[in-house]
Each structure stands twice: as C-alpha cells, then as structure tokens.
Structure 1
C-alpha cells in the first residue's frame, strides 16, 4: 500500500484537488483573487513562474548539446508536437461542445511536458537526450507558437483580450521562458548545478505541488461555471466524448511519431523518443492558458492524466520488446 501511494500520490492528489475545487468553488473563490504580497501580480502567475523554474533547474544542458549533434529526431518530434497534433485536435474539437472543444485546443497548442517525456522515454529504453531537447525547444518558443495556434484555431470566437497575440506572448515569455533561462543561468554556477541535479526528486515534488495549486485555481473556475445557471453544463456524454477525444489525439500522435521515425530510418531509441516527446503536453502552460481564456480545464487535465496511464503501458511494452544485446563470443 505504501509503495502504491508513493508511486501514485500525484494522481490521487490531482483527483482530490479537482473534487474539492469543483465542489467548494463558492467558498474558495476568494483564493483565485489573491495577489503576490506587495504587488498587483496574481498569485497564480507567480506560482507558474516558480514551478517552471523548479522544473527547468535540474535539466542538464549537456544532454541538449548531445542531441543536437543529430538534429533530425528532435526536429521531427517538434513538428509532430506543435504541428500535426494541433491540426488533429482542431478537427476533433468540432465534435465537442464549445467549452470542452476550446479546452482541447488549448491542450493541443501547449508545449511538450518538462519532465515526463524524458522520464517515459528513458523508461522505454529510448534516447532521453532527444526528449529533453524537444522539451526545451517547444517551451522556449511557446510564447510565439501557442498564441499563434490559438489565434488560428479559435479565430474571433473567443472575445477576450487575453487572446491577443501580444498579450499571450508577453505572458508566456515572462512566466515560462524567463524562469527557464534563469534556472539554466544559475546552473552555470557549478555548486548550484550539482545541487540541482542531486536534488532532482525534491525539486520535482515541489513543482508538482505547485502544479496542484494551479489545478485548484482551474477547478474553482470550473465549479463556479457549473453552478452558474446562465452557463451550459457538460453532460456525462459530453465528458465521455472529451475523454475519448484526448485519448485518441494523444495515442494517434504517439503512433504517428513512431511511424514517421521508422520511415526516416531513425534508430529504435530515437523512434521511442519521437513517439513520447511528440505526443506529450505540459499541464502547467495549458492550465495557465485555459484559465486566462476562460475555457474548461478538464481537457487539459484529462490529457495529462491519460498520457500518464497510456504512456506507462506503452513504455513497459517497448521495454519488454527491447532487443537483447548480442552476447560476446
């Protein structure tokens, strides 16, 4: 039981936070209006910056340079992640209601996850250096790519100042890109870099706690929307369709990544990296955008949770089918 709780604590906490935030939304609404002490900056924005810093601090730049020696696998994964995946999700979103469809578009436009792509790639026996490079590229350029995709896919249907290209680019640049740069600059000081690498697990747990707080903000907004009689509620059928949609988009892009990597004659290790890095999406940036654009956070959360379960099964399958190394004579 203890081992199960240690391995699954985040998923358990995620469900609990979603339930509490949704069910007690009215009581918790004041939390969403908190600002960082002494500033006009919303507390959630500070949390996003801190979490992105904590996630980027343990990343070793040496892995990125190693992968850049052979750039085609990471470039293919980037094309799948920020090119093909949003296109597929755009088509699928027409089968969902406006709120859930908008949430799916947000999930599709976000960059690759900062942690789990490399972890699952390594677990499956793939080249985690490729996954790390894809993570860095997609997150560093998300302040351009994410707003552009959302503008193209939503058009004028979302009448919000948050949708302006300048507004979202500035927000993502300051809350995502700058913390990542700051983390990597601090790593240049060798004692701090060694400490960050050694304390990777601790920093990851702290980042996930911050992530849960962002889920709480989104869950409160969802709960307020559900209790508002003027807002259309999503039925069980709508939610089931949404869950099927996110699972389909993720799994389809994972398979497309493997197929294209095989067609390009990449090594097995690089095929695995393209599959995971090309199909995974980061929860933090998705939550930030969904809350800002006032669309449902449920597709983003569902995408994140489903990719954890689906990719665990697929990674274990890859690992089980790993060719045995030839025995020396």
Structure 2
C-alpha cells in the first residue's frame, strides 16, 4: 500500500484536494476561502512549473529527429490541429458553458512536456521525435491555443486573443526557453540530471496548489457565491461531468490509436509511430490550468485574487489528464509488441520508471 501511494501520490493528491477544495468553497465563507487560496497565483505557479520541467528536459537527440521531420510534422498536426477540430463538435453539445470551454481548452493546449517521451521509451519507440513534438507544440502554443479557444469554444466570453497570446508567451514559452538556456551550462545541467526526480515532484506539487484553488472557487459557485464570466449558468450536473469525461477519453483514444495505425499509410516505422501516438494525443496540464484559471485570459472576475478564474473549466482537463495516465500505460505495453520487431527494447531510466504521473 505504501509503495502504491508513493508511486501514485499525484493521483492521490488530485483525489483528495479536488473534493477538499469543493467542500471548502461550498461550506466555507468567501473570506475563509480567500485566506486559504488567495495567495496562489496560477501565473507564477505555471511559469515555475514550466521552467522546472524544461530545466530537467534532456534534448540531446533533438537534432537527429530534426533531420527526419516527417513523424514530427504528423504528430504536431494531430496534437495542434486534428484534436481541436475533433473536440469542436463535441464541445458545443454541452449546455454548461464551463464544460464547453473546458473541453476546448483540454484539446487546444500543447503536448505534455515529458510524459510523451517517457511512454514512447516504454513502448520501445523513438523518444527524440516525442521530444521535438513537445518543444514545437509548446513553443507555438501562444498562437495555436488562443486561436482554437477564440474560434471554436462556442461560449460567449469576453476573450481577448491578443492578451491571451501575450500571457502564454510570457508565462509558458519564455520560462521554457529560460529553462533550456540555463540547462546549457554544464554544472547546472548536471544538477538538473542529478535531482531530476525531486525537481519533477516539486513541479507536480505546485500544480496541485492551483487545482485546489480552482476547486475551492468551484465550491463557492456551487454555493451561489461565485460570479465568473464563464459560469453565468447554473453549475454543471453530475451527468454532464461524466459525459465530458467520456468525450475527453474518446478524443484521446482516437488520437492515440489513429496516430499509431493511421500514420502507417505514410510508410513510417513503428518506432516513430509510437512517438506520433503519444506525442499527438497527450496534453499538458500546466498550460491548461493557466488558461482555465486566469481571469485575464477568460475574462472572469478576479474573485479570489490573481490567477483564479472560471473554476469548472479545469475539470475536463483534469479528466483528460488522469485518463491518459492509465490508458497510455496499457498502450505502451501493446505498442511495444510491434516496435520490438524493428528495434531493441528501450528501458527507461530509473527516475522515469518511478514517475508514473507525467511531468506535464
């Protein structure tokens, strides 16, 4: 039991902090909630998380992958174009503006910052392709994410695409660039490699603080106190949460399976198709939380202080993220049967094997 809890502490944290935050907001006073979570600034937390994951992100194989850009282009197309397109008709079916917008946020954010590489290695695939897709989609998220949310969310919100673009550029892209630049110094690179797991755990713990703050405001809105711009309607029903979760799971599975088997028509080897499957279908949580919880981005009232916007927008992303943890673990074992026919099995480093919950 202890080993399981240690290995899956992030999922345990989500399971505890989400209901705790909802209960705090639902039954606590606004002043109490503000004291508990008002100090959490999602922008600062996100920038710190992205710096840490970029700082620990090894990029030695990127040049090799760049010389054969075909698989990278296919995965980027799936992640940044096809997934948002597929989410569009599903999102507009939901009556709740929060869930409509949340599903589009989940589909429009870039690839995870390291999980795709970890699972690609576990599947015996080419993790250099996954790494390059990670960097390309995250570097362009300040353009692609605002575009999809502004044009396909189907929600009447006071959205300023220019402000969102600038915020993503400063809060997501710039910290990643700084993290990789700092890593270029050999002593700092050695430090990052040596303490990779503690730094990763720190980043994940910071994510949990933002999740808790968003859940707390969700509780306030359940109590009729919140007034975020994206939540003018009554709170979503339990059935709506289930359906939006199923929609997210379906999107991920279609992108995962379609990426692996569909890219076969281009004559792409199985080791590269594994990278396409994971990098094309996985989505990052920090950028999604930044978009979903930022009042500036979604035009929500700053009820609890900086960085807390429309709370129920975060739930589709949480569901998508949690589902991809379990689905891709099984998929990696299945895809490995094909990659082993053309490549030697790849054993992830010990730090990566322990990091069951990805560094997003």
Fold agreement, TM-score > 0.5: yes
Counterpart of 2:81 in 1: which secondary structure? helix
Matched, 1:158 2:156: yes
Shift of 1:124: 1.2
How far apart in 2 are the matches of 1:283 and 1:120?
17
Which residue matches 1:11?
Answer: 11
Matched, 1:185 2:151: no
Shift of 1:122: 1.0
Which residue matches 1:30?
Answer: 35
Matched, 1:276 2:278: yes
Change (3 A) 1:120 1:323: closer
Matched, 1:265 2:267: yes
Structure 1 moving runs of 4+ over 4 Å: 324-327
Which residue matches 2:145?
Answer: 146
Counterpart of 1:218 in 2: which secondary structure? helix
How far apart in 1 are the matches of 2:6 and 2:281?
26
Q: Can you list the C-alpha shifts for 1:104-125, whole angstroms capped at 9, x where unaligned?
A: 0111110101121111111111
Unaligned 5+ segments in structure 2 are 226-231, 299-309, 345-360
Contact 2:49/2:207 (<8 A) preserved? yes
Contact 2:271/2:343 (<8 A) preserved? no
Q: Please, which moves more after superposition, 246-255 or 193-202?
A: 193-202
Matched, 1:194 2:190: yes
- Number of paired residues? 317
Shift of 1:250: 0.5
Counterpart of 1:130 in 2: which secondary structure? helix
When the two structures are superposed, what TM-score results if normalisation uses the length of structure 2?
0.84
Map 1:1-329; keep pairs closer than 5 Å: 1-25=1-25, 26=28, 27-34=32-39, 43-97=41-95, 98-154=97-153, 157-160=155-158, 163-228=159-224, 231-292=233-294, 293=298, 294=310, 296-320=313-337, 322-323=339-340
Contact 1:29/1:220 (<8 A) preserved? no
How far apart in 2 are the matches of 1:148 and 1:185?
28
Shift of 1:33: 3.2
Contact 2:42/2:289 (<8 A) preserved? no
How far apart in 2 are the matches of 1:117 and 1:24?
34
Counterpart of 1:297 in 2: which secondary structure? helix
Q: Please, which moves more after superposition, 142-151 or 311-320?
A: 311-320
Shift of 1:208: 0.5
How far apart in 2 are the matches of 1:298 and 1:199?
31
Contact 1:222/1:297 (<8 A) preserved? no
RMSD: 1.9
Q: Can you list the C-alpha shifts for 1:82-103, whole angstroms capped at 9, x where unaligned?
A: 0000000111112222221110
How far apart in 2 are the matches of 1:325 and 1:180?
34
How far apart in 2 are the matches of 1:91 and 1:321?
33
How far apart in 2 are the matches of 1:180 and 1:13?
25
Q: Please, which moves more after superposition, 6-15 or 20-29?
A: 20-29
How far apart in 2 are the matches of 1:226 and 1:326?
53
